[in-house]
Structure 1
Amino acid sequence: MNILPSAIFQEFQARGLIAEHRGGDRPIRRIAPIEECAAGDLVFVDHAKYLPRVRQQPPSAVVAPAAIADELGDIEGLAVLVAPNVRLAIALLKQAYADRDVRDSEWPRIHPNAVIHDSVAVPEDALIGPGVVVGKDVELGGRVVLMANVVIERGAKIGANTVLHPGCTVGYNCEIGSDVILKAGCVIGSEGFGFAQDEKRRNHRIPHTGKVIVEDRVVIGANTNIDRATYGATLIRAGAVIDAMCHIGHNVEIGEDCILCAHTGISGSTKFGKRVIASGQTGTLDHITVADDVVLLHRAGLNSSIKQPGMYAGGPAQPLQQYLKNMAVAARLHEVWSRLKAVEKKLAELTKP
């Protein structure tokens, strides 16, 4: 990396990421954490508590909101890039200048150990690593990256600019959109969990013959499993972000721009609206519906649908303020119980014949 702050400003001003460039224009060699900043670095400062560090070890450039930027004007030679949303600036600037280059591979463009069915048209700009298996009639979009030991079963579709990290599996007939990231070990299109019992309570598997559709710009974390539908499709809508080690059951629909944190489990036929946030270890029963703009907190457990936007917590899930009040009381249950028994005893004495 070797770029001037003025070049960053010119590139990102039109997108509204950087509103203003103040001060110097020294070359930036790396994006660094504030704790290690030094000459040649670009750092992000979103709180006044970091100002002493910037003064002690001045970097070449700082990305900061306007209020913080006003405090930095006296540092000679320092470039200040004013960002209305510093966290968004972290995301987009690191993507542009400091992200891993998944196309920088030590292997041939198509590794000789890859097994690709003759029916597959491999784009000239695709990268296919060692141990990859691509089945019959698979469709690959331009600039796809399939890292080591990826398996794509017959009839699946992979969109343009999508990256599958090592060990991913995409089941037969599943569809993955463009600009999707599947992190290591995730499984898309495993058979859903469905069984019927006979009179002796022996289990008989119900075949799941649907598929999974993952729309554009979705990120799915390592070792996450998404089950194919019994019929139809399990749907992950555009822009959703799913953390590591989550489980999405058959026929679930996850709405646009949802965020599901680690260890979340969504049971079959549940439907999340748009922009739902589920914090770690959220769980649902099946056939639950969750409205747009709901936030689920504190290991939320849903046994019924949520119809109104808002913050909900606990199990069974309840509005956040009610949950906090109940939690405060729960810590004093023994005291409340003891006082209640004392009142009952006193009342009994007072009401004796």
Structure 2
Amino acid sequence: MVPVVTIRPIRLAELADVLERPFEGEGDFEIKGVAALASAGPSDLSFVRSERWSDAVSASAAGAVIAPEGVDVGGRAVIRSPHPGLDFARAVRRIQPMPRLPAGIDPGAHVADDAQLDPTAAIGPGCVVGSGARVGARSVLYANVTLYAGVVVGVDCRVHAGCVLREGTVLGDRVAMQPGVMLGGDGFGYLGNEKDEWESVPQTGGVIVEDDVEIGANATVDRGTLGDTLIRRGVKIDDLCLIAHNCDVGENVLIAGQVGIAGSVEIGRDAILLSQVGVADHVRIGARAYVGPQSGVPADLETGARVLGTPALDLPLGRRVVVSMRRIPELLRRMRRLERRLDPDASDAVEPE
């Protein structure tokens, strides 16, 4: 089974109608592809965000562009948009939809007799679909995906190669998972016993992933100890993130790469956690909070909080702390010089490297 790559040409006027934007130029111009300005050809559509990129537009061979009002596009066909990047993304989905496997079960897949697969679903080579698992309409499991017994995959989901969904995992509709995602692994739960050894705590919960969630490559979401780990509607999780057992990630939360979230953390809707943030267990992060890159969050954050640093501080103070750290070596040298002036006989003053 080979993924089907589809290009769907469209006239400029038709695309402008789909995007609900005005256009200038020849409405019958046929767009046959999408590309960046530097690599676009005469039949391709590209985009420009602002006048700052006017030189790139002039040098481009793109036949049509999406651009804001007032940006000179050199007389070529243009769709005017206040959000050119967003409208270009929508155009890409229309012109070059995501490759998918044809419906059906690859001969190299193993599907339990009592699994329930919609006839329009696609199951790729090497997949294992366990007893009682369900896969909804038009969903695609790419090569070597494993669904444990009873796993539920909703409608229009894309589960890329090598993903593993353990028992107790439920996906809503339109969920996208990049290669290597692990859902439902045991949480990091251990208790010391009478022999001063670590004894594992059974992890009996599951993972619930609601509609329109996207999860990046090699991210992991652990199953709940008791009850479920919740990833709510519209959440976007980048590559290499860890979400531990019993977390509740609110709607529309954005989590960038390499974030680690310890157990039982609650994150309010529309919060943003940038790359390499670490969150301690049982912390509550309020709705619309912003946590800057490499921040450590040891305690609760209020609704709308904006923080940076380790430990996380209010954003203006956190920025000053980060900038001030660069001055520490020079400040130490100045302090040592002052100490020697005050006490010329001091023998323990050490000049930093």
Fold conserved between structures, TM > 0.5: yes
Give how far 1:344 is off: 6.2
Give how far 1:150 is off: 0.9
Cα distance in 1, alignment partners of residues 157 and 230 from structure 2: 17
CA contact (8 A) 1:187 1:226 kept: yes
Structure 2 partner of 1:59: 62
Q: Structure 1 residues 38, 113: closer, same or farther in 2, change over 3 A?
A: closer
Q: Structure 1 residues 20, 342: closer, same or farther in 2, change over 3 A?
A: same
Could you tell me which runs of 5 or more consecutive residues in structure 2 were left unpaired when the two chains were aligned. Answer: 1-7, 345-353
Give how far 1:168 is off: 0.8
Amino acid at match of 2:236: V
Cα distance in 2, alignment partners of residues 127 and 93 from structure 1: 25
Could you tell me which runs of 5 or more consecutive residues in structure 1 were left unpaired when the two chains were aligned. Answer: 14-18
Cα distance in 1, alignment partners of residues 59 and 130 from structure 2: 58
Q: Which of 246, 252, 255 pairs up with 2:250? A: 255
Q: Report which stretch shifted further, 281-290 or 192-201.
A: 192-201
CA contact (8 A) 1:313 1:319 kept: yes
Give how far 1:315 is off: 0.8
Q: Report which stretch shifted further, 167-176 or 36-45.
A: 36-45
CA deviations over 1:3-46 (Å, ceiling 9, x no partner): 11101012221xxxxx2111223111111111123311111011
Q: Does 1:243 align with 2:243?
A: no
CA deviations over 1:45-96 (Å, ceiling 9, x no partner): 112233233334453211011132xx23x61xx2110112112112211122
Give how far 1:253 is off: 1.0
Structure 2 partner of 1:16: none
Q: Which of 18, 21, 33 pairs up with 1:11? A: 18
Structure 1 partner of 2:34: 31
CA deviations over 1:265-320 (Å, ceiling 9, x no partner): 10000011111111111111100111111121130111111113142111111112
Cα distance in 2, alignment partners of residues 84 and 167 from structure 1: 39
Q: Report which stretch shifted further, 134-143 or 235-244.
A: 134-143
Q: Which of 321, 326, 338 pairs up with 1:326? A: 321
Give how far 1:251 is off: 0.3
Q: CA RMSD in A?
A: 1.9
Secondary structure of the structure 2 residue equivalent to 1:34: coil
Q: Structure 1 residues 337, 95: closer, same or farther in 2, change over 3 A?
A: same
Q: Does 1:188 align with 2:183?
A: yes
Structure 1 partner of 2:100: 102
Secondary structure of the structure 1 residue equivalent to 2:290: strand
Cα distance in 2, alignment partners of residues 239 and 187 from structure 1: 19
Q: Report which stretch shifted further, 32-41 or 47-56.
A: 47-56
CA contact (8 A) 1:196 1:204 kept: yes
Q: Report which stretch shifted further, 47-56 or 274-283.
A: 47-56
Alignment of structure 1 residues 280-319 onto 2, 5 Å: 280-319=275-314
Alignment of structure 1 residues 177-216 onto 2, 5 Å: 177-216=172-211
Structure 1 partner of 2:131: 136
Cα distance in 2, alignment partners of residues 192 and 56 from structure 1: 53
Q: Report which stretch shifted further, 206-215 or 20-29.
A: 20-29
Q: Which of 19, 22, 25 pairs up with 1:20? A: 22
Cα distance in 1, alignment partners of residues 82 and 328 from structure 2: 46
Give how far 1:346 is off: 6.5
* Aligned length, in residue pairs: 336
CA contact (8 A) 1:34 1:50 kept: no
Cα distance in 1, alignment partners of residues 70 and 262 from structure 2: 46
Provide runs of 4+ in structure 1 moved above 6 Å: 344-349
CA contact (8 A) 1:272 1:289 kept: yes
Structure 2 partner of 1:40: 43
Secondary structure of the structure 2 residue equivalent to 1:326: helix
Secondary structure of the structure 1 residue equivalent to 2:212: coil
